[in-house]
Amino acid sequence: MEPDRILKVAIAQIEPVWLDRNRTIEKIVSIVESANEPDLIVFGEAILPGYPFWLSHTNGSSFNDSVQKQWYAHYCLNAVSIENGDLNSICDVAKQKSVAIYLGIVERPADRGGQSLYCSLVYINKNGEIKSVHRKLQPTYEERLCWAPGDGHGLRVHQQGNFTLGGLNCWENWMPLSRAALYAQGENVHVAVWPGSDHNTSDITRFIAKESRSYVISASGLLNRAHIPRNIPNYDSIVEKLPETLANGGSCIAAPDGSWLVSPVTGEEKLIIATLELPKIYEERQNFDPAGHYSRPDITQLSINSERQSIIEKK
């Protein structure tokens, strides 16, 4: 098949050095350096520096609790400040290897004061340029105890050859209008990132593929209690309350007809490789195209506010 009709993709299903930004960055850079020339590498939700698993197991909603405050402070200090250059080494290796990257981060953005955290999905192109930072629109349940709600600024797609990429964080993928916002921009490869559990990815990955007639890449992380670093605050009090396995992976890829290209992979760190074929997308769009011939914009339309939200309006 002609080179412009294929896209070689990789899912990096890895375990972060939990809540350690610098060491996790080193691991991410090493994985990109060692990858066998894919066009795109996808990492799971909040993989840098890690998902806030403690909230569900340590009474995270306890108000004004000193231990919860210490964990939040540690999380903030290991979160990603893009403005300070925290992603520079990852951008550099993307340029060096000429590979695009979708990366889930916990962001501490300066444009919102620098003390609140956002679950963000960053797209870095083959030139090592950050082209979008999508802040999760609605943190899910206990996530609201440490992540702030995002905005529509990152609801955008990116061209990679003849493929049009878009992405959402975790349960955002259940939000019909968020999916539709990407479909309407021509998305035909949908990236869904997750903290890591096959119970999340096994059904919705194939559903979105069938709905959108697109390839769907679900990228998840891993975390085992035994691998939690001992330098986190109150190590003993958090570890004794956590299950042995906090995230088992479940990364997978569905084809545009909803069939498995790669069925869910669990329990192991792995670079999952697959090749996407452009004609398969057009074959499935023949009888259903959700933003094209099978839409009725004269009856229903979607309005998107794509402005980056801030409490300051500069004039």
Given the residues 170, 172, 187, 210, select the one marked as catalytic: 170
Burial class (CB in 10 A: 0-12, 13-18, 19+), 110: exposed
What the block records as the tokens of 54 is 């403690």
CA distance 218 to 272: 11
- Residue 305 in any domain: the answer is no
In the residue annotation, 136 being an active-site residue is answered as: yes
Q: What is the pTM of this model?
A: 0.96
Chain length of the chain: 315
Alpha carbon separation from 227 to 70, 139, 245, 246 (Å, rounded): 20, 26, 10, 11
Classify residue 17: in a domain, yes or no.
yes
Does residue 170 carry a catalytic annotation? yes
| Cβ atoms 260, 252 nearer than 8 A | yes
What distance in Å separates the CA atoms of residue 289 and residue 279, rounded to the nearest whole number? 14
SS3 call for 207? helix
Cα 233 off chain centre by: 26
pLDDT, tens only, 216-271: 999 999 999 999 999 999 999 899 999 999 999 999 999 999 999 999 999 999 99
Q: What is the CATH number of the domain that holds 46?
A: 3.60.110.10
Q: Is residue 294 part of a domain?
A: no
Angle at 119 between CA 33 and CA 58, to 5 degrees: 110
**Residue 86 falls within a domain, yes or no?**
yes
CA separation for the pair 55, 47 (Å, rounded): 16
Among this protein's residues, is 45 annotated catalytic?
Answer: yes
pLDDT at 312: 86
Answer yes or no: is 199 within a domain. yes
Structure tokens at 139: 């943190």
Number of Cβ within 10 Å of residue 280's Cβ equals 19
* Distance (Å, whole) CA 175 – CA 150: 14
Which residues in the chain show pLDDT less than 50? none
Catalytic-labelled residue, pool 27, 97, 136, 210: 136
Beta strands at 158-160 and 163-169: parallel, antiparallel or unpaired: antiparallel
Q: Is residue 77 part of a domain?
A: yes
> Cα separation of 102 and 122, whole Å?
6
- Of 131, 281, 277, the closest CA to residue 210 belongs to 281
State residue 82 phi and psi, 5-degree precision: -65, -40
Total of domains in the chain = 1
Angle at 40 between CA 159 and CA 112, to 5 degrees: 75
Is residue 138 one of the residues assigned to a domain?
A: yes
Domain containing 78 equals 3-285
E-state strands within the chain: 6-13, 40-43, 100-107, 118-124, 130-135, 158-160, 163-169, 189-193, 215-219, 222-224, 245-254, 260-266, 270-277
Tell me, yes or no, whether 290 lies in a domain. no
Round to whole Å and give the CA distance between 270 and 260: 18
